[in-house]
Amino acid sequence: MLDIRLIREKPDFVRERIASRGGDDAAKIDELLKVDAERRKAETELQQVQSGRNRLSKEIGGKKSRGEATKDLEAEVRKIGDQIVDLDQRSASFDEQQRNLLLEIPNLPHESVPLGKDPSANKVVREWGKKPKLADKVLDHAVLGEKLKILDLERATKLSGSGFICFTGAGAKLERALINFMIDLHTREHGYSEVSPSFLVRRDCMIGTTQLPKFESDMYGLENGELFLVPTAEVPLTNLHREEILAIVDLPKKFVAYTPCFRREAGSAGRETRGILRVHQFDKVELVKITTAEKSYEELESLVADAEKVLQVLGLHYRVIELCTGDLTFGSAKTYDLEVWSPGSRDGGTYLEVSSCSNFEDFQARRMNLRYKGADGKNKFCHTLNGSGLALPRLFAALIENFQQPDGSVRIPEKLQSYFGGDEIR
């Protein structure tokens, strides 16, 4: 969440930055400032009344020591006690209102983020590699998967309904090989610590990483909304040190984890939902960093490079996109997307997002009270970052499309062959 002091001291600046995202969230600032003023007024009154009661209590003690009557003063103290209860309740109510409003207000885009209302204003930062030269008839992943018997979407629907996947045979092995390859790359070459987290998290953890309350309808909740299936490993990884004060010498912390991801939203009907591109459950290798304000944007660039390395090693053409203000997610201050080339998708091919790398600055850390002790001895909120490293099954789809052969087989990239146990799917 945002720092209430920043909103209080620079309301116009906050409104302007939020308005650059689009929507009407900037209008919530006026309501928040009104509640904040009422909360501070109630707290001031409470402190004054408590001070008055303390003064009377001392006066009563003095009179009693001198044998003087204190009945009237004691009655006044009891009356003040009722006022304190009322003011305390009012203060707590305003405090809750303020927190709820803060949870609804998005993060401020970083000043370097391109201005724009929608994805059309996103900026292509760079491209890597070349599109493959394939046979005239390029098959998409759904057709390839069926022909090679590595996907069984019909039986997945029978088991779970639409929007689910069943990898079979060499497909299941390829999915597992990709996960193991990515985790080894990030731990051995990029210095991340591997974590195997639980796939269920508490409500507070979902609030901490901004999935709640705004996106609750997209999440799979259990136990009356107190537990949730993870929508991404970002949730357990970023919350590992919630409500802790870290030592600056231990930063940055870098975590990598594989989890399945569960999301109700699977997109609108149409060709985009064909095959395994938009589903309710998918596998993902996630990267998370916890660092300081001074280092967070340097860490963002290296995070993007770490995710890019997966595509480079696999030999897949991709591009890096810098999102404009209107396309940022709720909690992000700056985001880069990695989009891999998918020659079988749509007419003539398209790009598929396989990673979104974001700096949340201290937005998440404030929600989970995640801090570090600076060199000056003061406690400061950490900056948190995350990115897919990478997301399946879009990587799976792009890989089999890019490496399809004229005879209908799929070639396995050299660096993946030892994980897969072969050089082709036939």
Closest of 237, 283, 277 to residue 260, by C-alpha: 283
As a residue count, the chain comes to 426
Contact 291, 382 (CB under 8 A): yes
Q: What is the CA radius of gyration of the chain?
A: 27
Q: Which residue has the tokens 């309740």?
A: 89
Residues marked as catalytic = 263, 278, 353, 356, 394
Phi, psi angle pair for 302, to nearest 5°: -70, -30
- Convert the chain into a string of H (helix), E (strand) and C (coil): CCCHHHHHHCHHHHHHHHHCCCCCHHHHHHHHHHHHHHHHHHHHHHHHHHHHHHHHHHHHHHHHHCCCCCHHHHHHHHHHHHHHHHHHHHHHHHHHHHHHHHHHCCCCCCCCCCCCCCHHHCEEEEEECCCCCCCCCCCCHHHHHHHCCCECHHHHHHHHCCCCCCECCHHHHHHHHHHHHHHHHHHHCCCCEECCCCCEEEHHHHHHCCCCCCCHHHCCEECCCCEEECCCCHHHHHHHHCCCEEEHHHCCEEEEEEEEEECCCCCCCCHHHCCCCCCCEEEEEEEEEEECCCCHHHHHHHHHHHHHHHHHHHCCCEEEEECCHHHCCCCCCEEEEEEEEECCCCCCCEEEEEEEEEECCCHHHHHHCCEEECCCCCEEECEEEEEEEEECCHHHHHHHHHCECCCCCEECCHHHHHHHCCCEEC
Can you tell me the distance from the alpha carbon of 386 to that of 237, in angstroms, rounded to the nearest whole number? 9
Question: CB neighbours (10 Å) of residue 406?
Answer: 9
Can you tell me the distance from the alpha carbon of 149 to that of 241, in angstroms, rounded to the nearest whole number? 43
